[in-house]
Each structure stands twice: as C-alpha cells, then as structure tokens.
C-alpha cells in the first residue's frame, strides 16, 4: 500500500502541519490502496509563500530555459508512464488499456505541446509607437478532478510553467496517486524550488484556503459546477482571476442523413468511455423519431459488447465509477429515469451481471425521453445514455441548446455542409462532427455553466498571462 503522507513545498517533501490522513480506495476492489495527508490553511500559507518568493526570479527566466525544463519533464514523464498508468488504474478504476493510453498519454501530450508552443509564442507586439506585452500573472492555485487526473493536472501546470508562473496544486483527494508521481517527476526534472508546490486535501480545507488566499493571483478549477461556483465566490473578495472547466450535458444530434449504425455505435461507445466519467460525454443522443426504434436496437447491441470487470485485464473496456458516493448518485438517477417514464432499453440499477464487488454500473440506455426529464437535465457522470426523439431539425437544435451547460456538442451527418451548418447553431465550446476529435493544440472549454476560459494549446496560455501596454516604448 502506498504511503503518500508528505506534501511538496519549496522543492522538498515536507511533513504536514497536522496529522490528518485519508484512506484512498481502489474502486474496483474496494480495498485501501494508499494513505494521503490532508492539508489545512497553514500548509497552504507555506506553499503560497514559497510560490510567491519563487515568482520573482522564475518570472524573469528566458523562453529557452522554460522550454528546456518542459522537455526534461516530458523525458522523465515518458520514462515513468507505466507507473502513472498503474496509479490511475488503482485510484479511479480506469481499465489498464485506457489508463496506459488515453489517460497517461494525455499528460505527456500537454507537456510536449506546451514546450512546442512556447518556442514560438509572441509575448509582445508593437502597435505604432507602443508595445503590448504579455506577462505571467503570478501565483496560480490549481484544483484538479479525479476523472482525467493527468490530463487535468498537466493542462494547467504546463502552460503556467511555460509562461513563467509559479503554482500550488491541489489534486483530487479521491484520486491523488498519479499526481504524487507527477510531483516526483517535477522534482527529478529540476523545477526550481517554490515554482511548483503540491498540497493534498479536500475542497473545504485546501481548496477554500487557496481560493481565498490574498497572495494567489489566479485560480484554475476543474470539477463540478457547484464547486466551481464556490471557488469563484471565495476568490471574489480578492478580485483574483478565476477560470473554470465545469460540467456538461452534451447533445449528440444524429441527423436524418447520417449513417445510423455508425453514428449510434460511435455515440454509445463514446458515452461508455472512461465509464461515462467525462464532462464532455455525449450523454443526450437526439434521434429522428422515425428512426428511434432502429437506434435503440443498435444501442442495445453495442452495449452488449462492453466488457466490464477486472481493471488489470487488458480486455476489460469499462471499469467501475470512482466511489460509493458516485455509484449511489448514478443508481438514484437511473431509478429516477425509470420512475419518470423513460424507456429502459438496456442496463438499469444494480451491479452488472457477473460482478459481485466494486463500484460497477450496468451500461445503461434510456429512450423515449424528453428534455424535461431529470436524466436529460442533470449530469449523471456514469455510463448512462439518454435517447431523445425529435420531429424536425429545428426542434433538435432547440433541444440541444436547452440546457444550462455548453461544454460540447456532437453532430452526425452524411453531408459535411449540413453538419457544419448545424454545428454552427449549437452553443457549446467544442463541437465534434462525425466523431472527429482535436488534439492538445485545440482549445477546450465551455459556454454558460460549463465554465469560462480555455485550456489546451496556445489558447491555454492566455489565462496565465496579464496584458501590459507600454505607451511610447518604440518612440524615437
């Protein structure tokens, strides 16, 4: 069992100020896999002070120095990618096939992309006799979730480091193991003392202290909309910048000219990826009413191909959800769908067949739903797909936008011009046509209650920069 009871502050592993610990559970086996320390205000004060002191010098380093540092981090990350994958499998139940590819490699992709962008990034421009410069914002508080742990840690840490910021990371206390390994990587890479700090803890203890801290210049948060709102409220008195990547209830519009089997198959498998625990999951599939019965049959057949079970087995395609809290929530929402009259195509409440332990959920598809049902409104964050029929394209677009969220949208069509036209009418930050998905250079973020700001690629640098106009700078 892993003993991760120290914090990383000012370039060293240090003891917490209080002896508070938390057991980390493997959601597939329900066994304890690690013990972590839980921090408090005092730990946050120490970490922020280290970051503030380090900012004076690190903010003045050259592009070449920071790019070389990112290269070194990427080199060591690659050498330990197997350790990271195993940690992700243990901490949040990702099947090893997913943990060792998409989950672990997402982190490497963000680091290498940041180094690439940095070498060509314009930190200044001249406008007539004046110069506009982009400078690092300062000390950044980074709060990351459990569902894509390395993706979310690195898409914050890498751009912050690239532009010259210093930081304090609070990874999710539910899935902190991979972040501990990542911190070992940062130390081995020679990140200067105080530039990167990590304090484990929960939201009320560490998250609130970071958000309120007067010496933290910006907060970058990924998680639920409810928690994101609290971060913003806590940050408001000090008028610090807050960026948020929050929840979603993304529509997947299957147009009448789509290849139905391909579109439904793609949508169902995408919904089940990562056990449905992705904020941009295509959880509402909008289908022409006349083709709904056929779509149900395809969805049920695809669901039968899902292999649920041992996360260490390379043939397993779906693991458990992350915790008993999540499992209970999902079970309640599945039952709510049944109670409100949606048609249960497959799945349902309880454990999957052949599974007698772990936080596993049956791959579930509802149909004949409407957009007022709870399963159409709330983010379930599990392997539950809701199919909603529509009678006209205008109605489909209206349903797609009838949500407080706006993170992603999906359009399936056999005509690209048709798909592009519909994509332009969906109010969301990322639209995917016929299953296309961008890389780490494409901006990621949402409209409405799905958050603000953008992560990934060059757009991800922006939130960590301040704009300064120096008037008369180039005057003779």
3-class SS of residue 374: helix
Angle (nearest 5°) at CA 119 between 111 and 105: 15
Q: What is the pLDDT of residue 427?
A: 98
Is residue 279 flagged as an active site residue?
yes
DSSP string of 385-435?
EEEEEESSHHHHHHHHH-SS--SEEEEE-S-HHHHHHHHTTS-SSEEEETT
Q: What is the pLDDT of residues 93-124, one digit of tens each?
A: 999 999 999 999 999 999 999 999 999 999 99
> Which sequence spans correspond to the domains of the chain?
2-246+450-470, 251-439
Q: Cβ–Cβ contacts within 10 Å for residue 34, how many?
A: 20
Answer yes or no: same fold for 2-246+450-470 and 251-439: no
Nearest to 328 by CA among 353, 356, 351, 310: 351
Whether the pLDDT of residue 6 is over 90: the answer is yes
Instruction: Compute the half-sphere exposure of residue 238: CA atoms within 13 Å on the CB side of its CA.
Output: 19
pTM across the whole model: 0.97
For residue 415, name the pLDDT band (cuts at 50, 70, 90): very high
Instruction: Assign 3-state DSSP to the chain and report helix, strand, coil percentages, each to 5.
Output: 40, 20, 40
Q: What is the pLDDT of residue 17?
A: 97
Q: What is the average pLDDT across 408-434? A: 98
Q: What is the pLDDT of residue 476?
A: 72
Q: What is the average pLDDT across 197-207? A: 97
Is residue 245 flagged as an active site residue?
yes
Q: What is the pLDDT of residue 317?
A: 98
Q: What is the pLDDT of residues 423-452, one digit of tens each?
A: 999 999 999 999 999 999 999 999 999 999
Q: Of the residues 173, 279, 379, 455, which is catalytic?
A: 279
Strand order in the sheet with 7-9: 12-14, 7-9, 196-198, 166-170, 139-143, 218-222, 241-245, 451-452
Q: Cβ–Cβ contacts within 10 Å for residue 322, how many?
A: 25
Q: What is the pLDDT of residue 475?
A: 84
CA dist 352 and 343 (Å) reads 19
Q: What is the pLDDT of residues 317-369, one digit of tens each?
A: 999 999 999 999 999 999 999 999 999 999 999 999 999 999 999 999 999 99
Q: What is the average pLDDT across 451-458? A: 97
Contact present, 82 and 428 (Cβ < 8 Å): no
Whether the pLDDT of residue 395 is over 90: the answer is yes
Q: What is the pLDDT of residues 141-200, one digit of tens each?
A: 999 999 999 999 999 999 999 999 999 999 999 999 999 999 999 999 999 999 999 999
For the segment(s) 251-439, the CATH number from 3.40.309.10, 3.40.47.10, 3.20.20.60, 3.30.1330.10 is: 3.40.309.10
Q: Of the residues 245, 296, 368, 455, which is catalytic?
A: 245
Nearest to 221 by CA among 138, 141, 143, 137: 143
Please tell me the class of the 2-246+450-470 domain: alpha beta
Whether the pLDDT of residue 228 is over 80: the answer is yes
Query: What average pLDDT does the structure give for the chain?
Result: 98
Contact present, 211 and 231 (Cβ < 8 Å): yes
């Amino acid at each position: 069992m892993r003993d991760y009871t120290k914090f990383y502050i000012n370039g060293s592993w240090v003891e917490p100020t209080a002896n508070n610990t938390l057991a980390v559970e493997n959601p597939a086996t329900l066994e304890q896999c690690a013990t972590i320390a839980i921090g408090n205000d005092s730990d946050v004060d120490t970490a922020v002070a280290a970051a503030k002191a380090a900012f004076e010098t690190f903010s003045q380093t050259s592009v070449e120095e920071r790019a070389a540092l990112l290269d070194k981090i990427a080199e060591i990350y690659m050498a330990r990618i197997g350790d990271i994958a195993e940690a992700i499998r243990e901490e949040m139940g990702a099947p090893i096939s997913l943990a060792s590819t998409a989950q672990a490699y997402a982190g490497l992709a963000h680091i290498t992309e940041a180094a690439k962008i940095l070498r060509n990034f314009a930190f200044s421009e001249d406008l007539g006799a004046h110069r506009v410069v982009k400078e690092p914002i300062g000390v950044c508080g980074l709060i990351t979730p459990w569902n894509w742990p390395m993706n979310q840690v690195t898409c914050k840490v890498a751009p912050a480091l690239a532009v010259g910021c210093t930081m304090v990371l609070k990874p999710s206390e539910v899935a902190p193991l991979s972040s501990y390994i990542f911190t070992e990587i940062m130390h081995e890479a020679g990140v200067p003392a105080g530039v990167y700090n990590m304090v484990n803890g929960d939201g009320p203890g560490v998250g609130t202290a970071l958000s309120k801290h007067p010496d933290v210049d910006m907060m970058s948060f990924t998680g639920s909309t409810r928690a994101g709102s609290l971060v913003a409220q806590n940050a408001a008195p000090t008028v610090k910048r807050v960026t948020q990547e929050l929840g979603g209830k993304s529509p997947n519009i299957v147009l009448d000219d789509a290849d139905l089997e391909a579109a439904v198959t793609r949508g169902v498998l995408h919904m089940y990826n990562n056990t449905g625990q992705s904020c941009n999951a295509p959880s509402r599939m909008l289908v022409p009413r006349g083709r709904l019965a056929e779509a149900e049959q395809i969805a049920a057949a695809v669901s039968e191909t899902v292999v649920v079970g041992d996360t260490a087995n390379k043939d397993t395609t779906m693991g458990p959800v992350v915790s008993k809290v999540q499992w209970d929530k999902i079970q309640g929402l599945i039952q709510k769908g049944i109670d409100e009259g949606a048609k249960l195509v497959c799945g349902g409440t309880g454990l999957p067949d052949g599974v007698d332990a772990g936080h596993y959920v049956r791959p579930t598809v509802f149909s004949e739903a409407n957009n007022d049902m709870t399963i159409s409104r709330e983010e379930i964050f599990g392997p539950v797909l809701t199919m909603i029929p529509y009678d006209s394209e205008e109605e489909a677009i209206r349903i797609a936008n009838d949500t407080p969220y706006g993170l992603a949208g999906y359009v399936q069509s056999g005509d690209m011009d048709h798909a592009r036209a519909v994509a332009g009418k969906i109010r969301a930050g990322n639209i995917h046509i016929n299953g296309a998905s961008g890389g780490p250079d494409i901006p990621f973020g949402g409209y409405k209650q799905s958050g603000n700001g953008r992560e990934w690629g060059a757009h991800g640098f922006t939130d960590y920069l301040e704009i300064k106009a120096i008037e008369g700078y180039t005057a003779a």
